[in-house]
Structure 1
């Protein structure tokens, strides 16, 4: 009887264990199935942004399918395999790490914070045709582009005409992508002009008219790869940021590189030229058009910055610089042509020539320190004139957002009318020419004498009009102030 009871008890325990094992299997299957559903759901919902490997920072389009970890962390299969290999073949006993002093177990949720949200990059859509930002039928003709530039920029007629034609041809090339067997070359530009002549302002106005992404960057911070400073690819990185990290949009934008004369080849330098000729060499591939790996949201490539590939074939590059010593090089070339005999030019013949920059040649730019390969990729070279008194007066009052109009609007909000007589405008222009910083000097001069007016006028509600005179600009008198009642009397007398 005891043996039967023992065997019966054993059978019951086996049945219990079998049923328990069965329940665990069913439970496991039940847990797996929803996971499959969830993953299917996640695969179906695509937010249109690239996934980047947390370790090597390569995008999914380059590294292949990502392995999803908790807290939205993605790792590529290569890095995952390397991690497993390192753990299995390494000399460290990971089971003993827990008890070692100073070792902390990291939290996966903290890793998510290491990936900045703004570094998301939109996926390139495969199989779909690229839609140009500007429709070929809607591209404004050169005369319309120039007319729009005229509303904001005074003078510089040749520069505006050259720019309008170059941009029109460039966006025709982008919109058509190819013209049968004839491939149209890029219309990259080089602007040469003294400081304050409107180089940057022209480009800003142009981008606003065309409504395309624009990146304005400075060549002074660029250095050769491996040195402290910005990498050459950072100019494209800024355009990508201006296009909201949309690669397709960025590939049809405009990049303006200012202070391009600062990367000229250094003369008689025994040190390594990391910010001169080497930067020009590095920019050749960008200007001509090629696929470049660009850091997203940073100026240089490092371990924590994701990279994406941008094709620069349809990006319009506009370079600008003051080229301060170029005038001397042009004068030297012109006077050297006939330096001896009766036909010789006087040494000081070109000293007061305001249009000396317009006589520039590619040879002069080579003597300045620009390498021929770099100049060859900037086929359209034009110059901007220095500012004279007449142009400065026009800048003060004619453009849509002229400086005087800005102050008139500010005082109009206080219900005060601001007027400038002709003598005052001439005095401001004369002062600006002495400063020799072009149109930039105007704002500084106006800020100086408008300070007291902007401070005193809100004190008295009776003031109706302020007229700025030449005497006030030169410091020998004051502005003419009219009270509101006096204005009304004058109007009544005229009507009478």
Structure 2
């Protein structure tokens, strides 16, 4: 069984289990969670299907439709973590049609491949970490207590190629070994962490001066390869740095771990993982659709460029071979998740061929006041829990009463309705304004203790902002 298959087997969550995991971080949007859970399980099903038909089973790409801040990106990001899969989020509006200055759509696959390679290398480095730590320990010891080699001059200046003829040299070696072992013990106990030493580390061969960019995929790829070639020509240059032993450990551990891993195997595994597990989240896909009410439809103007981006995107989503600096990547089994608010345009305004490549469409609901309260209390990474954790580091315990959180939820719903609906992102701005005074006062005025945020405190801090429409426009 390949490493990739082992990874997939370990992550064989059922759709119900996937939804349960997503529920820990995302409130509501049950239909969207259900769709992505099925899509994730289908990957495992494909990997375990008969070999004859495995390659014929294509992923059902998903189009998430809904206003900003309702959880579209978070669903995709959490899905990728659950699958332990290479994941990239791109914005469709940032791409330009091939032939124009800017990034072409193929770059998202090249970037996804780089992400996968870094992911696999990190995993490999973790596997060799213990071995690398021992090598680093020896390197640091060699700096502190250089070893005495056989046949070298001893303390008396005597030298001989014959060990048996150099008893003094042997005693020097024994003494050296004993000293090294004492220092090894001190190193392992962290007693020497603050001591400064001079270490020789590899210098980065890539310089910003060498970066080459081009408007088209081929040119961009050529630029990357030229940069690599120029870097390799310089060889593995080294530089000396004076650092503490604690810092030296980190620098050398990274260097030694890098030496121990098989880079070729890492690239091969990453390429396989991209092709079979990769997830591409294309945000703002509605921005490259023709506007329904645009008089330019079918004519010139910006819609021509938008259509060009869609047509460039089509073969990638359909399944094609994309050239990267590591080799060709087949996109047939990469899962694509499109996302957009579709306020101005509709999904049907995308070119028909691209529409057909996103067969599963899920409409996400706008968030209600009750949803905001749940978002503040239920998720493992709720904003309130984040602020509590930050202030706990200052020895201050903050508690939010239920009344306070209900008031914050009500204000978020009210401001979204009056100003602009940005979904759950509104909670970030409201909580930031609510706790501004407190965050500034700690630790100068408040060094420790318990603080309770109640409804009265919320009204006191936010009442004027909510009432003043102009202020709420800019602050909340």
TM range (shorter): 0.5 to 0.7
Any conservation in 1 of the 2:285–2:340 contact (CA below 8 Å)?
yes
| Residue matched to 2:81 | 208
Residues 131 and 406 of structure 1, relative CA distance in 2, 3 Å threshold:
closer
Residues 316 and 205 of structure 1, relative CA distance in 2, 3 Å threshold:
same
Residues 211 and 409 of structure 1, relative CA distance in 2, 3 Å threshold:
same
Residues 313 and 465 of structure 1, relative CA distance in 2, 3 Å threshold:
same
**Distance across 2 between alignment mates of 1:470 and 1:256:** 39
**Distance across 1 between alignment mates of 2:444 and 2:54:** 72
| Residue matched to 1:421 | 401
Any conservation in 2 of the 1:291–1:309 contact (CA below 8 Å)?
yes
Q: Does 1:318 align with 2:303?
A: no
**Distance across 1 between alignment mates of 2:96 and 2:86:** 25
Name which of structure 1's ranges 131-140 and 149-158 shifts more when overlaid on structure 2.
Answer: 131-140
Residues 470 and 232 of structure 1, relative CA distance in 2, 3 Å threshold:
same
Any conservation in 1 of the 2:58–2:333 contact (CA below 8 Å)?
no
| Residue matched to 1:268 | 295
Residues 387 and 179 of structure 1, relative CA distance in 2, 3 Å threshold:
farther
Q: Does 1:248 align with 2:275?
A: no
Structure-to-structure mapping, 1:362-441, within 5 angstroms: 365-366=347-348, 369-433=349-413, 434-435=415-416, 436-441=421-426
Aligned-pair distance for 1:215? Answer: 0.8
Higher relative contact order (CA 8 A, sep 6+): 2
**Distance across 1 between alignment mates of 2:54 and 2:15:** 25
Name which of structure 1's ranges 244-253 and 227-236 shifts more when overlaid on structure 2.
Answer: 244-253
| Residue matched to 2:264 | none
Any conservation in 2 of the 1:135–1:175 contact (CA below 8 Å)?
no
| Residue matched to 1:466 | 451
**Distance across 2 between alignment mates of 1:181 and 1:173:** 6
**Distance across 2 between alignment mates of 1:130 and 1:275:** 42
**Distance across 1 between alignment mates of 2:4 and 2:424:** 39
Structure-to-structure mapping, 1:471-490, within 5 angstroms: 471-475=456-460
Q: Does 1:166 align with 2:39?
A: yes
Structure-to-structure mapping, 1:90-489, within 5 angstroms: 131-132=4-5, 134-136=7-9, 138-176=11-49, 178=51, 180=53, 183-244=56-117, 246-252=270-276, 253-266=278-291, 267-269=294-296, 270-271=300-301, 273-294=303-324, 296=325, 308-325=327-344, 365-366=347-348, 369-433=349-413, 434-435=415-416, 436-460=421-445, 463-475=448-460
**Distance across 1 between alignment mates of 2:332 and 2:461:** 59
Question: C-alpha deviations, 1:387-439, integer Å up to 9, x for none?
Answer: 10011111111100110001111222222221112222122112222232100
Structure-to-structure mapping, 1:69-80, within 5 angstroms: none
**Distance across 1 between alignment mates of 2:406 and 2:54:** 57
Name which of structure 1's ranges 459-468 and 310-319 shifts more when overlaid on structure 2.
Answer: 459-468
Any conservation in 1 of the 2:394–2:447 contact (CA below 8 Å)?
no
Aligned-pair distance for 1:320? Answer: 0.7
**Distance across 1 between alignment mates of 2:443 and 2:68:** 36
Q: Return 5+ residue gaps in structure 1 as ranges.
A: 1-127, 297-306, 327-363, 479-496
Name which of structure 1's ranges 224-233 and 164-173 shifts more when overlaid on structure 2.
Answer: 164-173
1:265 aligned counterpart, secondary structure: coil
2:337 aligned counterpart, secondary structure: strand
Question: C-alpha deviations, 1:212-247, integer Å up to 9, x for none?
Answer: 110111101111101022101011112111112632
**Distance across 1 between alignment mates of 2:23 and 2:80:** 14
Structure having the higher Rg: 1
Any conservation in 2 of the 1:289–1:313 contact (CA below 8 Å)?
yes
Aligned-pair distance for 1:477? Answer: 9.4
Any conservation in 2 of the 1:403–1:443 contact (CA below 8 Å)?
yes
**Distance across 2 between alignment mates of 1:423 and 1:438:** 21
When the two chains are superposed, the root-mean-square deviation of aligned CA atoms in Å is 2.5
Residues 179 and 438 of structure 1, relative CA distance in 2, 3 Å threshold:
farther
Question: C-alpha deviations, 1:188-224, integer Å up to 9, x for none?
Answer: 1111111000111111111111111101111011111
Residues 470 and 196 of structure 1, relative CA distance in 2, 3 Å threshold:
same
Aligned residue pairs: how many?
Answer: 301
**Distance across 1 between alignment mates of 2:85 and 2:366:** 29
